[in-house]
Amino acid sequence: MTGVLARYEGLVAAGELQPDPEQRNAAERLDQLQRSLETPRQSGLLGRLFGARPSSPRGLYLWGGVGRGKSMLMDLFHECLAIPEKRRVHFHAFMIEVHARLREARKSESGDPIPPVAATLAQGLRVLAFDEMVVNNSADAMIMSRLFTALIDGHGVTVVTTSNRAPFELYKDGLNREHFLPFIALIERELDVMALNGPVDYRLERLGGMATWHVPLGDAATAQVREAFFRLTDYPPEDSAHVPTAELDVGGGRMLHVPKSLKGVAVFSFRKLCAEARGAADYLAIAQTYHTVILVGIPRMGPENRNEAARFVTLIDALYEHKVKLLATAAAAPEQLYENGDGRFEFDRTISRLMEMQSEDYLAAGHGEE
């Protein structure tokens, strides 16, 4: 199998990627990790006699802004790694699975559920690769330190992850963050932390100057945001029927179905987000989880749609405050969406924000930046 670095340099030579020193350094580190993982593990005579686990190579925490090539490098690493004991999963989906397993373990066992769950997750696994590590709720924060200590120290699993945030910024200002600090210490102790945080946003570059607000509603507008989705995620358009979905935890035991969810990009309908009874917590969860939202089917609204308009205002506030990129199909330009009705005065702020969200400066800002 080809090494990660050779694959990366081949893409640069072919003109498919631009030369980027930080990307190359990350590719070189992933190449070293690939070779270490492909070397059979040796536990030694004493280890075999006393049941010690074989040593495992240090993992990698690769962080940086949107569009810096983190997912592309993870793609190369997972594709090149020639061992069967590997798993790649979006971090949010992994934590949903963990909570489900913990609930089942609590039903069948009276003791601490984390060790058996960690053992089940580690079974037949040498490397666990995550996309987009992010921590949005106290439930995840409370269990992550103990779970990953068990996976890494107890079962020898090598963890490789990408994130938009440096380790010390994870779950920043979160509830009961003191319980999360041991996890940050674990990352810094067990994983090599590499920044991929230069000024070039290759993901936005892939949009090639495409507009982000598409009117009127119809096939042409839909085709534009569809193309944008595939450019942003590198997902093959010919396999569009199998784009992953997700279930987003929006708090209070409620889950929000995300019809298309891949590499930090989510697709929603206006009807789903604004015509149904939703609140600020729902929109905050979306804004914290996704760096780009594609919202389709935004209609013109009038007095009879004041509830939908109010929810739309709250949604845009959440996206704007977290610097989420917004691509949309709409029946009209922002200033024509809600011309009459309760809350029309407040809607002026939304119009202003929608206009700013189309600007180069806004699109160049990193997800979550103040």
Q: What is the CATH number of the domain that holds 323?
A: 3.40.50
Whether residues 352 and 223 fall in one domain: yes
- Res 194: pLDDT: 93
Q: Is 360 exposed, middle or buried (0-12, 13-18, 19+ CB in 10 A)?
A: exposed
125 burial (CB, 10 Å; 0-12 / 13-18 / 19+) is middle
**Contact status, residue 261 vs residue 246, Cβ threshold 8 Å:** yes
Q: Do 268 and 342 share a structural domain?
A: yes
Asked whether residue 291 is assigned to any structural domain, the reply reads yes
pLDDT reported for residue 286:
93
What is the domain count for the chain? 2
Of 88-92, 207-211, 307-311, the least confident: 207-211
For residue 20, is pLDDT > 80? yes
* pLDDT of 80: 95
How big, in percent rounded to 5, are the helix, strand and coil portions of the chain?
A: 50, 15, 30
Mean pLDDT of the chain: 88
Same domain, 211 and 359: yes
CA 166 and chain centroid, separation:
14
Quick check: is 40 in a domain? Answer: yes
Domain interval for residue 100: 4-195
Strand pairing class (191-195; 59-63): parallel
User: Which has more pLDDT, 368 or 11?
Assistant: 11
Do 190 and 206 lie in one domain? The reply is no
Sign of the CA dihedral running 288, 293, 296, 302: positive
Are 118 and 208 contained in the same domain? Answer: no
Is residue 120 domain-resident? Answer: yes
**Is residue 370, in this structure, part of any structural domain at all?**
no
The answer to whether residue 287 is domain-embedded is: yes
The pLDDT score that the predictor gives to residue 54 is: 58
Whether residues 183 and 219 share a domain: the answer is no
Query: Mind listing the pLDDT tens digit for each residue in 262-274?
Result: 888 999 999 999 9
369 domain residue, yes or no: no
Express each pLDDT in 157-181 by its tens digit: 999 999 878 899 888 878 888 888 9
Residue with tokens 């979160």: 174
DSSP 228-245: HHHHHH---GGGGGG---
CA-to-CA dists, residue 130 to 70, 145, 186, 304, angstroms? 11, 16, 16, 45
pLDDT higher than threshold 60 for residue 185: yes
Q: Is residue 24 part of a domain?
A: yes
Secondary structure letter of residue 273 according to DSSP:
I
Among the listed ranges 62-66, 203-207, 238-242, which one has the minimum average pLDDT value?
Answer: 203-207
Whether the ω angle into residue 115 lies within 30 degrees of 0, i.e. cis, is no
Domain boundary among 176, 195, 214: 195
pLDDT band at 108 (very low <50, low <70, confident <90, very high): confident
Binned at pLDDT 50, 70 and 90, residue 208 comes out as low
Do 11 and 41 fall within a single domain?
A: yes
Q: Is the same domain home to 218 and 180?
A: no
Domain boundary among 154, 178, 195: 195
**Do both 321 and 353 map to the same domain?**
yes
pLDDT in tens, 286-339: 998 888 999 999 999 999 999 999 999 999 999 998 889 999 999 999 999 998
Lowest mean pLDDT segment, chosen from 38-52, 212-226, 252-266 = 38-52
Asked if residue 342 is part of any domain, the answer here is yes
Is residue 213 located within the same domain as residue 181?
Answer: no
The CATH number of the domain holding residue 135 is 3.40.50.300
Residue % of the chain over a pLDDT of 90: 57
**pTM of whole model > 0.85?**
no
| CA dist., res. 43 & res. 45, Å (int) | 7
- At 45 the pLDDT is 52
- Which of 172, 195, 218 delimits the end of a domain? 195
Query: Does 224 lie in the same domain as 105?
Result: no
Model confidence at 370: pLDDT above 80? no
Give the model's pLDDT for residue 52: 52
Say if residue 72 is in the same domain as residue 99.
Answer: yes
- What confidence category does residue 276 fall into, taking pLDDT thresholds of 50, 70 and 90? very high
